[in-house]
Chains A and B, each alone.
Chain A
Amino acid sequence: MPNFTEETISVAGGNLQVYKGGSGDPLLVLHGAGGNAGPRRYAQALAEKFTVYLPSHPGYGNSDRPGWVETMQDLACFYTWYQEQEGLENVRAIGFSMGGWLAAEMLSMTGHAFSKVMLVGAAGIKPNDGEITDIFIISPAQVRDLVYHEPSQVPEWDEMFGTDPTPEQAQQAEGDREMAIRLTWKPYMHNPRLPAKLGRVSVPTQIVWGENDNLVPVECASLYQQAIAGSGVTVIPNCGHSPQIEKPDDFVQAALAFL
């Protein structure tokens, strides 16, 4: 197992918490609205081939929020800043859920961010038929029930959810939710102008979705595919919103095949 270290660097005047591990070409992993779950099993597996960078978004975990980071577009600006500073431009990247939306916003701003990118259950585009589930009006426990299609097949379930959170962890989770609300409240979890702006994208893009996604309708996979010329779609069967957690082996296989 590759070792991950946790480091704190200064970006845009604030501290940024980054998990880093493995060896090889850099791979930037952008977490979703729920927060940074750290180097889980999928990240360990990817670190066999790549140097994985897993930052906590500003306002999440132990990362500071520079006061100007209010919107997803601000966050995308922040990350291109981070990339330039750390020499992490033109790297491979994976974005999960809201992190997928973030990656898409970055793609719409610059051709220098990524060499290849995977968008996994990505928010950001409004579905035509269904709706992106409102995760703020229900409790975190209810959200978790919706995230996983079949909890029994989640290998890290006990590790992740087996014990009650400590008061510090609860505070952290509350802070993460606040940041998600700050970034995505209105229009909720989408940018009406994003699909048009993705017309500029020319880097190889793979769109990955759990077949039974209860948060972001699988319909959005094809909307992303339509928006990004030449992109491919992988649908992972019998799987919910977070394939990297629910079916890490299938997910890693798909990721390595593409990246």
Chain B
Amino acid sequence: MFLMRFTERAYVNYTEEDVRNSPNEAVRLTFSNTNFDPQEGHYLYNMYLDEYEYSEEVGFDGLMLNEHHNTPTCLGATMNLEAAILARNTKKPKIVLLGNPLPIFDNPIRLAEELAEIDMISSGRLVSGFVRGTGVESLATNTNPLHNRARFEEAHDLVIKTWTTPGPFRWEGDHYHFRVVNPFQTPVQKPHPPVWIPGTGSPETLVWCAERNYPYIFLETDPQGTEDMKSIYAETAREHGYEPGPENFGYLVRIHVQDTDEKAYDVGKGYMVGNIGVGRIPLPRDYASPVGYGSRSDDPRFLRLREQIRSDPFRVGGLDSAHYDEILDSKRWIIGSPETVISQLREVLSYMRPGILAVWTNDGSISHEDTMRCLELMGQEVLPALREIGEELELTDPFQKEGVMPGLTRV
């Protein structure tokens, strides 16, 4: 099992009132950047980087980063820069980007170059995830949401071709046009860095991933629905001649550990203002999913698949508005002493069977000190136990898989 550490790098120095007084009471997109203090940013960024660097020390296999725009909930607006720093300042862990929002890039060649540079600096430790971005990403960069999926697919194809086809070559597509594709730098990993795709279960994306043997990382999805989504992936995989295993799936979950259950319970409340922001005010629908962003496919296959996915009690940001105890009872967040966390995780892992576990160790208002203690306890107690559980449950990860490694295009 592949264990990677994640945090959204939150900024929480603002109040609920600040958000209430902002356009559409939204904490993203239009929440004025006058609420941002660069000096505080200086402190926070370096603190978050310290924590990631420490995560290598305590034994994580991967350091996972994500990217969002115009929001205090995730300071990783230009994630590749953070990735480059980690590439230089760490030695062993994979640098897992989940991921670059492809549709908002007007120049996929430059993105391919950036990622190649990170792969070079890290000596081949990049895992290059791609995402469609939330609606806010489209709006912040003024990318037409109607073209989101078409641009995602075309940018992906062009990035992979740039990495794998000797230059110079030409690309005259629908959204991208280049006459001299020939960046001198190509990635260290051949044929290219592994591609993993995170998501919450769009059937189109599941099918698209399965067609390419790209591992799919479920983001805090509910167990029942996840089972349905895995079966959609598996069905397509079989059509393409392979049987997916744990190495094709990952699971992201908030996991926080402290010395005692009581301490962990108190500290874990800090999550409540992560992701959703201080004040926990749900984002306007037109920000999260502008017209045209979502699928309106009338392809009966996708309609059937969509129906097949059992609905999640915490669906669509539900985790963000639910009561703390409710979430803990459902085991969607796993918070406690090492013993509690390990035993709850054994249960989750037995059921979800991911080869990749993304451990969202802290967020929101959880302090640096508490985070460092959490990471320390992870290293001392939780990670070794999880590795044993992984072995016992045969949760193979992509790097342990022989033959064609999931995440790589057959070139």
A137 at the interface (CB under 8 A from B): yes
* With A126-B172, A131-B170: A186-B177 Cβ-Cβ less than 8 Å: yes
Interface SS of chain A: helix, strand, loop or mixed?
Answer: loop
Q: Once the chains bind, are A187 and B172 in contact (CB under 8 Å)?
A: yes
CB-contacts of A183-204 with B (<8 A): 186-188, 190, 192
A84 at the interface (CB under 8 A from B): no
How near does chain A come to B79, taking the closest CB pair, in angstroms?
28
B174 at the interface (CB under 8 A from A): yes
A7 at the interface (CB under 8 A from B): no
In angstroms, Cα B349 to Cα A158, docked, is 82
In angstroms, Cα B173 to Cα A126, docked, is 10
A134 at the interface (CB under 8 A from B): yes
How near does chain A come to B170, taking the closest CB pair, in angstroms?
6
Q: Once the chains bind, are A137 and B170 in contact (CB under 8 Å)?
A: no
In angstroms, Cα B179 to Cα A211, docked, is 25
In angstroms, Cα B128 to Cα A235, docked, is 50
CB-contacts of B135-170 with A (<8 A): 170
Query: How many A-B pairs fall under 8 Å by CB?
Result: 14
Size class of the contact patch on chain A = under 10
* With A126-B172, A131-B170: A188-B177 Cβ-Cβ less than 8 Å: yes
In angstroms, Cα B189 to Cα A77, docked, is 50
Q: Once the chains bind, are B172 and A190 in contact (CB under 8 Å)?
A: yes
B180 at the interface (CB under 8 A from A): yes
Mask of B224-263 contacts with A, CB within 8 angstroms, 1/0 = 0000000000000000000000000000000000000000
How many residues of chain B have a CB within 8 Å of chain A? 6
B180 closest partner in A (C-beta):
A137
Mask of B172-204 contacts with A, CB within 8 angstroms, 1/0 = 101001011000000000000000000000000
Give the residues in chain B near A134, CB-CB below 8 Å: 179
Give the residues in chain A near B174, CB-CB below 8 Å: 192
In angstroms, Cα B170 to Cα A126, docked, is 13
How near does chain A come to B257, taking the closest CB pair, in angstroms?
53
Give the residues in chain B near A190, CB-CB below 8 Å: 172
Give the residues in chain A near B180, CB-CB below 8 Å: 137
In angstroms, Cα B172 to Cα A192, docked, is 9
**B172, B174, B177 — most chain A CB neighbours (10 Å):** B172
CB-contacts of A99-139 with B (<8 A): 126, 131, 134, 137
Q: Once the chains bind, are A187 and B170 in contact (CB under 8 Å)?
A: no
Give the residues in chain B near A126, CB-CB below 8 Å: 172
Q: Once the chains bind, are B179 and A137 in contact (CB under 8 Å)?
A: yes
How near does chain B come to A139, taking the closest CB pair, in angstroms?
16
In angstroms, Cα B177 to Cα A126, docked, is 12
How near does chain A come to B19, taking the closest CB pair, in angstroms?
41
B178 closest partner in A (C-beta):
A186
Give the residues in chain B near A192, CB-CB below 8 Å: 174
Give the residues in chain B near A187, CB-CB below 8 Å: 172, 177
**B174, B177, B180 — most chain A CB neighbours (10 Å):** B177
Give the residues in chain A near B177, CB-CB below 8 Å: 186-188
B170 closest partner in A (C-beta):
A131
In angstroms, Cα B172 to Cα A126, docked, is 8
In angstroms, Cα B180 to Cα A188, docked, is 12
In angstroms, Cα B177 to Cα A187, docked, is 6
Give the residues in chain B near A137, CB-CB below 8 Å: 179-180
How near does chain A come to B168, taking the closest CB pair, in angstroms?
10
In angstroms, Cα B174 to Cα A126, docked, is 11
Mask of B353-372 contacts with A, CB within 8 angstroms, 1/0 = 00000000000000000000
Give the residues in chain B near A131, CB-CB below 8 Å: 170, 172
Give the residues in chain B near A188, CB-CB below 8 Å: 172, 177, 179
In angstroms, Cα B180 to Cα A130, docked, is 16
A134 closest partner in B (C-beta):
B179
In angstroms, Cα B180 to Cα A190, docked, is 17
In angstroms, Cα B182 to Cα A137, docked, is 14
CB-contacts of B393-411 with A (<8 A): none
In angstroms, Cα B174 to Cα A137, docked, is 22
In angstroms, Cα B179 to Cα A137, docked, is 9
In angstroms, Cα B179 to Cα A134, docked, is 8
How near does chain A come to B154, taking the closest CB pair, in angstroms?
12
A189 closest partner in B (C-beta):
B172
In angstroms, Cα B177 to Cα A186, docked, is 7
A132 closest partner in B (C-beta):
B172
In angstroms, Cα B174 to Cα A192, docked, is 7
CB-contacts of A42-76 with B (<8 A): none
A186 closest partner in B (C-beta):
B177
In angstroms, Cα B170 to Cα A192, docked, is 16
How near does chain A come to B107, taking the closest CB pair, in angstroms?
12
Using A137-B180, A188-B172, A188-B179 as known contacts, list a sample of 11 further A-B pairs with CB atoms less than 8 Å apart, ordered by residue number in A.
A126-B172, A131-B170, A131-B172, A134-B179, A137-B179, A186-B177, A187-B172, A187-B177, A188-B177, A190-B172, A192-B174
Report A's interface with B, CB cutoff 8 A.
Answer: 126, 131, 134, 137, 186-188, 190, 192
- Can you give 14 contacting A-B residue pairs, CB < 8 Å? A126-B172, A131-B170, A131-B172, A134-B179, A137-B179, A137-B180, A186-B177, A187-B172, A187-B177, A188-B172, A188-B177, A188-B179, A190-B172, A192-B174
What 3 A-B pairs have minimum CB-CB distances, sorted nearest first? Answer: A187-B177, A186-B177, A134-B179
Report B's interface with A, CB cutoff 8 A.
Answer: 170, 172, 174, 177, 179-180
